[in-house]
Structure 1
């Protein structure tokens, strides 16, 4: 698989896992919105949907999916990914997988090759192998042949497969932890952080999601959960990249609307109070990524983008 590993690396500078120990923290929605915000800042961004059992990224990007066909922009992806795993592993010399493109974002997801109502039930070991097949065959370049600057990987919650396979395949440059302020979420994320530390995966920071709501009348911030006490915050020593509100504008990236970062008054949309914290998060993420090998190029591209937010 080494030739495919080299190809995937050659067509993207950084692979960043969006990860959480618990489900229901808004990780997939955040991944889409952060990807769009990074794109608005001048970067070419890919999204790899690593959640085998619940591949929701296509729906979040407004791609209506029937089995074997994607109703949206771009060419239909590779139905051979649904072949038996042994046949796919034997055929690693097949042509590379080009990402699906939507709103200028590059995307690969198992949700592009199965129907929205179709159950996906691979065994744990098979799920990891399916991730490996897709990753090693990816050609992260856009329709004009330009390579991606960063690929955000929406990982399933927890510390099991396919997380271990993803790390073992050497496709990890760093991780961004998505969390809420609930005590149980902190407990489980503590286990996840210990695993990442053991595997020497750089944790770029944590995003506290759905921390508050914004009053639509006066703009007051109303906390949904109190901030945990210092001794209870399991990510002590890990920088907080941002705190995002629970806001309906984040939820309207479902079809047919574009992600929040791409909706501006210029596109006929009213200004959203959720945009400012989203772009502040994108700035913090760029700064964190710039510390990684190859990340300096990302920092420079963002700094040189004159018309970017």
Structure 2
């Protein structure tokens, strides 16, 4: 049975998509079949981490929501794009990563924002994707904030990863999302602190956040110069396998696997 994991943040700019992509890579490296759906339709971006040129892609999540294709037809096999620093594929036999991207075409973004879509179609798509691709894990990269799509993603999730930065505005918004998740009775909740300066005491930061929210902190992810340089050009998990960021991603996988 597929385990559904939503990654969410109350505000944009937390590095949510980067965390999602690296988690997917880590799960695939352990031999799992992993699907990712980019439901951040207003500002999609996770495709860049897998070096996907959306200008050459015929079907996206948008096409599925308009009833033009099956969601499995919009799923791209990006397994071969999980590479090391030498460009060598890293996923072992049996492991797979599939990505359902959202369109980056201005007209298609504007259309879906204007016409909206039925969130029940999105729910049906998740189920069809899990069954059609025989996924072990489905990762849903959500749109920041709270809207109908976000509530659906949270409600159907086995695990919710709430990404926050060590910032007072993120703290306040995260409290709101946590309250919603508890009311929706999500079975497993974790906080992930991202973009923590290397000068911080990570253990102290983790303890303070746990004390504030009474929610387990799966990891504190560092912000460093080399991570900024890599940016969205690839997956840190395989490009720098001994990095502190990579070790933190692995600790999150240990918690959710």
TM-score (norm 2): 0.76
Pick aligned residue for 1:16 from 5, 24, 36: 5
Structure 2 counterpart of 1:201:
186
Change (3 A) 1:116 1:283: farther
SS in 1 for 2:26: helix
Structure 1 distance, partners of 2:254, 2:207, is: 28
| RMSD (Å), alpha carbons | 3.4
Q: Is 1:279 the equivalent of 2:239?
A: no
Structure 1 distance, partners of 2:15, 2:98, is: 20
Query: Deviation digits for residues 197-245 of structure 1, max 9, x if unmatched?
Result: 0111134311110112xxxxxxxx323999499499642x211111111
Structure 2 distance, partners of 1:19, 1:79, is: 18
The size of the alignment, in residue pairs, is 237
Preserved contact between residue 4 and residue 140 of structure 2 (Cα < 8 Å): yes
Larger Rg: 1
Structure 1 unaligned segments of length 5 or more: list them. 1-11, 71-75, 213-220, 264-270, 291-309
More helix by percentage: 2
Query: Deviation digits for residues 70-119 of structure 1, max 9, x if unmatched?
Result: 2xxxxx43688267x4xx3xx8xx756242111341111223xx537863
SS in 2 for 1:285: helix
Q: Is 1:100 the equivalent of 2:76?
A: yes
Query: Deviation digits for residues 251-309 of structure 1, max 9, x if unmatched?
Result: 63745xx412223xxxxxxx565x3442343234333x35xxxxxxxxxxxxxxxxxxx
Change (3 A) 1:22 1:100: same
Change (3 A) 1:95 1:200: same
TM-score (norm 1): 0.65
Structure 1 counterpart of 2:126:
135
Residue correspondence of structure 1 range 53-92 to structure 2 within 5 A: 53-66=42-55, 69-70=56-57, 76-77=58-59, 81=63, 85=66, 88=67
Structure 2 unaligned segments of length 5 or more: list them. 82-95
Structure 2 distance, partners of 1:35, 1:281, is: 10
Structure 1 counterpart of 2:34:
45
Which has the higher relative contact order, 1 or 2, with Cα contacts under 8 A spaced 6 or more apart?
2
Structure 1 distance, partners of 2:9, 2:183, is: 16
Structure 2 distance, partners of 1:182, 1:254, is: 22
* Farther-moved stretch of structure 1 (126-135 vs 24-33): 126-135
Change (3 A) 1:174 1:139: closer
